[in-house]
Structure 1
Amino acid sequence: MNEEKFNQGLDVRRSVLGAEYVDKSIQNATDFNQEMQELVTEYCWGEIWTRPGLSKQTRSMLNLAMITALNRPHELKLHVRGAINNGLTKDDIKEVFLQCAIYCGVPAAIDSFRTAQEVFEEIEKEEKR
């Protein structure tokens, strides 16, 4: 493992997904999935998300579209929250899902709208506390 890239990735991962979620994922890693946590942090976040070629907002839009296409609601919830953290608006997210409806299929987009709405409601509840 490249410790420098891991640490850079950890910083970006925390800023996008939230420190609480990321720290919990790493602290709860087991012998079975520890290497996966390291791989994701070092390569996804440390190698790719730190590259200068795309903004965090663009990366978030791409992730929302790809995760919609893959129909991965758990990951979509994380990345909807991450997209908000990266400065995307609900309207930005809506436009991504409408684009996905055409190119990935209406059922996938409908599920993504539903999942995003759950995240928006969670965020609103958190803000009221």
Structure 2
Amino acid sequence: MNADTTTYERGQALSETVNPGMEQALAKRYDALVPGLSRMVVEVPYGTFYSRGVVDEKTRLLATVAALTAQGGQTKPQLKVNIASARAVGASREEICEIIYQMTLYGGFPAMINGMNTAIEVFEAEDSA
């Protein structure tokens, strides 16, 4: 972590690297209802947790994909974002699918199938872009 930057600045830089435009999209959708929500999402997870530098972004995002997969289908929107972010930092389709497959042991078959279906949607969007 760079001591010369604020938590928010670190979060902003990282979020723009792995998920460009996220803060603006969150602000447009939620800030009228909950002022500052977009900034909090950038500052807390990205600036406080994700930017620690202990593990690389690919590892961190694959761990996130695993956790969201194991939690089941209710996390589909977040899983899509994190699969796309993992791809943006160099995770292969095979690595992502292997991580999702392993979650059969921790989240069960339905969670794994939901995760695979979500990954397929992300990959199809990549292919059509």
Matched, 1:96 2:99: yes
Structure 1: tracts of 5 or more residues without a match: none
For residues 27 and 9 of structure 2, what CA distance do their matches in structure 1 show?
A: 13
Shift of 1:22: 3.4
- Is the Cα–Cα contact under 8 Å of residues 23 and 42 in structure 2 kept in the other structure? no
Structure 2: tracts of 5 or more residues without a match: none
Relative distance call for 1:22 and 1:36 in structure 2 (3 A) is closer
TM-score under structure 1 length normalisation: 0.87
Alignment of 1:1-129 (within 5 A): 4-19=6-21, 21-71=22-72, 72-126=75-129
For residues 83 and 33 of structure 1, what CA distance do their matches in structure 2 show?
A: 28
Shift of 1:38: 2.1
Shift of 1:33: 2.7
For residues 92 and 118 of structure 2, what CA distance do their matches in structure 1 show?
A: 15
For residues 7 and 27 of structure 1, what CA distance do their matches in structure 2 show?
A: 20
Shift of 1:75: 0.5
Helix, strand or coil for the counterpart of 1:10? helix
Shift of 1:69: 1.8
For residues 108 and 28 of structure 1, what CA distance do their matches in structure 2 show?
A: 28
Q: Percent identity?
A: 24
Shift of 1:52: 1.5
Cα deviation digits, residues 38-77 of structure 1 (max 9, x gap): 2211110001111121110111011001111222001011
TM-score under structure 2 length normalisation: 0.87
